[in-house]
Amino acid sequence: MPDERRLLAVHAHPDDETTSNGWTFPRYADEGVRITLVTSNLGEEGEILVPELAGLGAQEADQLGGYRLWELRAACAALGVRTHHFLGGPGRYRDSGMMGEPSNEHPRSFWRADVDEAARHLVEVIRADRPQVLLTYNEIGGYGHPDHIQAHRVAMRGAELAADPAYAAELGEPWDIAKIYWSAMPRSGFAKAIARLRDSGEDAFADLDIENATFLVDDALVTTAIQGTGYADQRTLALRAHATQVSPEHPFFRVFDQIGAEAQRDHYQLVKGALGARDPATGLESDLFAGL
């Protein structure tokens, strides 16, 4: 095991780090892991859940991105993330909005960004921080948001270029990331939680086709579960920090309360590197740095 363990996560918007890695980050921060977060844009096109802040929206003052920057800082503090970068600097890329929206065509839309150009900014971070582990989304960005898909493309391309000795020597010495994981929400776990909700009389997700839901991943693809028991307070603080975007009382978050301690995990699919030892209780790898 290296003297210093270093973890890099590449996300699309402020709040994605909490919803994707909200159990992982505080656990590893507590273990002394150096965590670096890269966020692709400020999330200017997000819906606003706080009525009195509605005027910040993209169709009015268009100041939501600046507000979300401060939300992100508070969330990072709660999660133990001490190093954060906006890809290429704050404001270089803009939130693209949902697929098919006119905001996809904004000149600074992240969806329109040249992948190699955006990846160059990430290479600079990778070669400076030299992480052993990278976390990002799968090829459909988890649920099809254009910025999530683009973040996946940039993360994978950035990791490839960072390891290439022939690429951009001025950005630092080459660095090959040992393990790359994609976030993965197991289909069976979500189905179990939904069943318990329905048994209790809750009608949330009543129309969801679990077998075909694209934000869920077949269990056979899930390789790793990072247990976050003991870090619920930190995760909740981080969720609440993103007040314009996230309500911890939303059914999406409450659904997991139905399955207790099993819900206090982030799941991943290992796509580069070798799996470490598996937890006999789950059959899954339980440490992102296992085998390094």
Sign, Cα dihedral of 102, 105, 108, 111: positive
122 touches 115 (CB < 8 A): no
Query: What are residue 6's phi and psi, to 5 degrees?
Result: -135, 130
154 touches 115 (CB < 8 A): yes
Q: What is the pTM of this model?
A: 0.94
Query: What are residue 11's phi and psi, to 5 degrees?
Result: -125, 170
Token pair for 126 = 């990778």
pLDDT over 60 (residue 2): no
Report residue 255's pLDDT band, with 50, 70 and 90 as the boundaries. Answer: low
Query: What are residue 240's phi and psi, to 5 degrees?
Result: -70, -25
User: Average pLDDT, whole number, for the chain?
Assistant: 93
pLDDT higher for 223 or 232? 223
User: What integer is the mean pLDDT of 187-214?
Assistant: 81
In 3D space, the residue among 226, 235, 223, 239 whose CA is nearest the CA of residue 266 turns out to be: 226
Reported as a single tens digit per residue, the pLDDT across 134-158 is 999 999 999 999 999 999 999 999 9
Least confident stretch, 122-126, 220-224, 232-236, 283-287: 232-236
Report residue 254's pLDDT band, with 50, 70 and 90 as the boundaries. Answer: low
* 3-class DSSP string for 99-120: CCCHHHHCCCEHHHCCHHHHHH
Angstrom distance (rounded) from CA 227 to CA 133: 17
CA atoms lying within 13 Å on the CB side of residue 38:
31
* Residues contacting 160, CB < 8 A, separation 6+: none
Amino acid (1-letter code) at residue 208: L
In our burial notation (b when 16+ CB lie closer than 10 A, e otherwise), range 157-185 reads: bbbebbeeeebeeebbebbebbbbbbbbb
| Secondary structure (DSSP) of 228-240 | -TT-HHHHHHHHH
Q: CA end-to-end span of the chain, whole Å?
A: 5
Domain architecture of the chain: domains with CATH? 6-185+219-251+260-272 (3.40.50.10320)
Report residue 189's pLDDT band, with 50, 70 and 90 as the boundaries. Answer: confident
CA atoms lying within 13 Å on the CB side of residue 232:
11
- pLDDT > 90 fraction of the chain, expressed in percent and rounded: 83
Per 3-state DSSP, the chain is made up of helix, strand and coil in percentages (nearest 5) of: 40, 15, 45
Q: What angle do CA 214, 215, 216 make, to 5 degrees?
A: 90
Reported as a single tens digit per residue, the pLDDT across 70-119 is 999 999 999 999 999 999 999 999 999 999 999 999 999 999 999 999 99
pLDDT over 80 (residue 56): yes
**pLDDT for the residue 1:** 42
Q: Kindly state the greatest CA–CA separation across the chain.
A: 60
